[in-house]
Amino acid sequence: LWVGAMVAYMLIQPLNRRALAAGASAWRIALAGWLPVAAIGLLQVAALMSVLHWGLGLQMAHAAGTIGFLALVTCCFGAIVQWLNARFGAAGRILVLAVLMLQLTSAGGTYPVQTSPGFFGAIHPYLPMSYIVEGLRRLITGGGLGPVWQGCAVLLAFTAGALALTAVAARRKQVWTLDRLHPELSL
């Protein structure tokens, strides 16, 4: 789902330039750039769940909860990737990839985080994928749903925070500077 958001923002601008130039509300610009990618992500969730359930025969303890949780995951990932691209431009694509690598190594999805170097254990509680892995474990295999609700709260906070930061980036891009009016020549 992260890679899907990454690819979507390679094709879709995180901030609409026409809306920026027209002076639209920063929140409106942020949401207008996020909603199409969130919709594409929801289609990805549907495809993923179809393949897992009907193609591979995966039986989940909480199928509806898993679908809802993954919908929240894709909305969160889309918001984070949008903010990184909107704020940092072309360098944001590299940051998106770097954050993905940090999340994959510190989430504890492949190996327990306790077996990883100390750095990954230190950043483990601060990245959303850590909560996603634990939430999906409970939703798929069963058990108490406390980690799922905690994961939902963390994902909602990350989503709201990333959308707010994207709105700030949109507002900053509405202010025209001399460098934006007369960019440096590049060969």
pLDDT, tens digit, 9 for 90 and up, residues 99-156: 999 999 999 888 888 888 889 999 999 999 999 999 999 999 999 999 999 999 999 9
pTM, full prediction? 0.91
Mean pLDDT computed over every residue of the chain: 93
Q: What is the pLDDT of residue 180?
A: 67
Q: What is the pLDDT of residue 187?
A: 62
The answer to whether 86 and 14 have CB atoms below 8 angstroms apart is yes
**Which one-letter DSSP state was computed for residue 62?**
T
Angle (nearest 5°) at CA 58 between 56 and 62 = 150
| Residue length of the chain | 187
Q: What is the pLDDT of residue 154?
A: 98
Neighbour-count burial of 177, counting CB atoms closer than 10 A to its CB (0-12 exposed, 13-18 middle, 19+ buried): exposed
Structure tokens of 77?
């990932």
Say how far residue 57 (Cα) sits from the centre of its chain: 27
Neighbour-count burial of 56, counting CB atoms closer than 10 A to its CB (0-12 exposed, 13-18 middle, 19+ buried): exposed
Model pLDDT for residues 70-96, shown as the tens digit of each residue: 999 999 999 999 999 999 999 999 999
Contacts of 170 (CB under 8 A, 6+ apart): 15, 20, 26, 29, 30, 86
The yes-or-no verdict on residue 1 having pLDDT over 90 is yes
Say how far residue 146 (Cα) sits from the centre of its chain: 22
The answer to whether 47 and 74 have CB atoms below 8 angstroms apart is no
Q: What is the pLDDT of residue 115?
A: 87
Structure tokens of 68?
């809802």
Contacts of 137 (CB under 8 A, 6+ apart): 143, 147
Given the structure tokens 């509300």, which residue do they identify? 25
85 phi/psi in degrees, rounded to 5: -70, -40
- Can you spell out the DSSP letters for 86-132? HHHTHHHHHHHHHHHHHHHHHS-SSS-GGGS-HHHHHHGGGSHHHHH
The yes-or-no verdict on residue 177 having pLDDT over 90 is no
